[in-house]
Structures are given as C-alpha cells and as structure tokens.
C-alpha cells in the first residue's frame, strides 16, 4: 500500500510600516505578494493610522494574488516589531486581524512572531548556508526603523532569541538614506534611487568621518553633513554617495567590533538597507565570513514569517504524531 507524505503549507502575513506582504511557505519553496504603501511626494513616512488603513485596503488584493492557496495548515503573522516587552506598532493590527480571520475560518493553528524574527528567517533561508540558524550567529538588522547588531540563536517558540550587541543611539541607517533621498527630491522609500545616484558620483574625495564607539553608533550627524553639502553646492550624486558610504563604513566598524567579542561567529545581514550593492561590496571586502539575505528578501516580506510558522507547525505536527 503506497505511503503518502503530507505536504505542509503555511500562510504568512506581514504588515510593516511601509509594505503589505503575504506569502505561502511549502516543503519545496514559497510564493509571495507584496505592495509598498503609497507615501506622498516630499514626505519621509506615514502616520500609523494611514499605514493601518492602507494595509486594510491592500490585504484582500494581496491574498487574491496567492489564490488558489490549496490546503493551508497554519497561519503565521508579524504581531510586533521586536521580541521585547512593550514592542508595539498599530500597523501590525491589520495583519493580525487578517491572520486570525483566516485561521478561524479554516480551523488551523495560528502563530504570532516579531517582524524582526521574520527578517532573520528570510535571511537564514536564502543566504546560501544551510548551517545558519541551527546554532548561535551574529545578525545585523538594518532597515528604515532598526539598526541593530544582534547575538541570535534558535528558539522553538519565537524563531530566534536575539540579544542586542550594538545599535544606533539616534536615527536608523534607513532613516538617513530616506531623509537624504527626500532632500534630493527622490521618491520615498529612497534606497534604490539613491544607490543609482551614488554610482554616478565622480568625486575623488567624500567626507568619511563616522561615529562608532564599541558596537554602538550615532548616525544623525550625517544628515547635517548632507544638508551642508547641498547648501555648499555639492552635486546630488556626491551627496548620495556620502550617505551610502557613511552607512556602509558604520556597519563595517560595528561588525568588526562585534567580531572582537565573537570571533568565530558568522554575521548575516538582513533588512532593506542590505539590498544596497555598494554596502554589500564594502562588507565583503572588509570582513570575512559574512552572509546576506537574497536581495529580494532583504526588504520587508512575509516569507520569513511564513517559514517561522512552517517550522513551528512542523515541530507541533511531529510532536502530535508521536503522542
């Protein structure tokens, strides 16, 4: 008599501050759909109430793009930014409502994870090293809302436990990139356009002073420098290059400091800032044993969240089967 192996499928939902994202994770891969939230010209972000409204509008459309979903065994969603007490953003309520509705209708388990854990899982799954995520590692999460260097290790309940090794003491790397981009008339979020602009710079010398102490950094001063460069008539290309190189050098310095404490651990980089090819090149040149999320999955996505749910359900399913 033939033996049929159940193919598991988990739906993931992530409603971050700037992207509505849904994904299906299966044994043999994933499917996803994303939509960046619309931000007005010249604005550097969205109010939480506006983000929540836009997610509510976008989610039905995103769900339809994954149809037909087939049999969904569990639903996972991003419930809060980080796995620390008091971590909360209203925009994640849209994903929670959708996830709880789907799970209730299907009668399947539902799992809540942090947005940061989703980023780490997306990186772990796509960095090209199958051993990452099975034991402790260093992770650098650099995005519009976060610049944190983490000591991470697997955790069956929440995906990864993560202790902060270093972080920004003011604004995030992504905020600097977006603020400089908006200052130059680019469309928010500005990462891709700012990188293209920076690659056109022909300046022989770019300001290089960074502010890193141990594994912590200050970034806001670079915004003042960029503003001064614009007032002094420096080209948009040179200003863009300054901002990106400032972020890259800061991440390099913080990573090297962390390596002094944890010399044998690999470092994996995740978050929207890590889509930047200039910064990746700097890191690969300066630091051995570094890994990166797939470029497509560096920015906000529900793929990592779906895989967090997949692994959690897989463990629960095996435990249930053995009882």
* pLDDT mean over 271-276: 96
Contact 31, 66 (CB under 8 A): yes
pLDDT digits (tens, 9 = 90+) for 11-23: 999 999 999 999 9
Distance CA 189, CA 39 (A): 8
Which of 113, 121, 114 lies closest to 137, judged by CA? 121
- Domain 9-127+298-322: top CATH class: alpha beta
User: Which superfamily, per CATH, for 167-292?
Assistant: ATPase, nucleotide binding domain (3.30.420.40)
Q: Where are the domains of the chain?
A: 9-127+298-322, 167-292
- Scan for tokens 């995740």, then name that residue: 270
Residue 319 has pLDDT above 80, yes or no: no
Please list the alpha-helical segments (H only) found in the chain.
Answer: 48-66, 92-106, 115-126, 173-183, 191-198, 220-231, 236-261, 277-286, 303-322
pLDDT at 297: 96
Asked, colleague to colleague, whether 9-127+298-322 and 167-292 share their fold, the answer is yes
User: If you write DSSP's letter for every residue of 185-206 in order, what string do you get?
Assistant: TPPSS-HHHHHHHHTT---S--
The pTM of the full predicted model, rounded to 2 decimals, is 0.94
* pLDDT mean over 98-124: 98
Per DSSP bridges, beta strands 137-142 and 29-36 are unpaired
3-state secondary structure of 305: helix
User: If you write DSSP's letter for every residue of 98-164 in order, what string do you get?
Assistant: HHHHHHHHHT--EEEEEHHHHHHHHHHHHSS-TTTTSS-EEEEEESSS-EEEEEEEEETTTEEEEEE
pLDDT at 6: 61
Average of per-residue pLDDT values in the chain: 95
pLDDT at 317: 83
pLDDT digits (tens, 9 = 90+) for 204-232: 999 889 999 999 999 999 999 999 999 99
Tokens of 184: 């130059």
Residue 3 has pLDDT above 60, yes or no: no
């Amino acid at each position: 008599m033939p033996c049929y192996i159940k193919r598991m499928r988990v739906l993931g939902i992530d409603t971050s501050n700037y992207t509505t994202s849904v994904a299906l994770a299966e044994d043999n891969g994933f499917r996803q759909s994303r939509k960046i939230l619309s931000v007005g010209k010249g604005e550097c972000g969205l109010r939480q109430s506006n983000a929540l409204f836009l997610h509510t509008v976008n989610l039905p459309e995103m769900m339809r793009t994954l149809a037909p979903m087939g049999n969904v065994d569990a639903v996972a969603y991003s419930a809060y930014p980080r796995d620390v007490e008091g971590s909360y953003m209203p925009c994640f309520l849209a994903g929670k409502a959708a996830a709880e509705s789907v799970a209730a209708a299907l009668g399947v388990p539902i799992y809540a994870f942090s947005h940061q854990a989703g980023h780490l899982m997306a990186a772990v799954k796509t960095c090209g090293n199958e051993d990452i995520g099975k034991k402790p590692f260093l992770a650098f999460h650099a995005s519009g809302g976060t610049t944190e260097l983490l000591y991470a290790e697997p955790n069956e309940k929440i995906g990864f436990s993560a202790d902060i090794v270093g972080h920004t003491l003011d604004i995030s790397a992504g905020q600097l990139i977006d603020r400089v981009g908006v200052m130059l008339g680019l469309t928010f979020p500005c990462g891709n356009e700012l990188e293209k602009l920076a690659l056109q710079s022909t300046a022989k010398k770019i300001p290089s002073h960074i502010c890193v102490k141990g594994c912590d950094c200050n970034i806001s001063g670079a915004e003042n420098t960029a503003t001064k460069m614009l007032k002094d008539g420096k080209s948009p290309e040179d200003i863009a290059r300054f901002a990106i190189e400032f972020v890259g050098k800061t991440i390099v310095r913080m990573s090297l400091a962390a390596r002094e404490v944890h010399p044998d651990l690999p470092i994996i980089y995740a978050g929207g800032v890590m889509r930047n090819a200039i910064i990746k090149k700097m890191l690969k040149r300066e630091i051995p044993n570094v890994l990166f999320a797939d470029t497509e999955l560096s920015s906000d996505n529900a793929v990592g969240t779906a895989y967090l749910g997949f692994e959690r359900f897989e463990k629960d399913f095996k435990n249930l089967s053995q009882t």
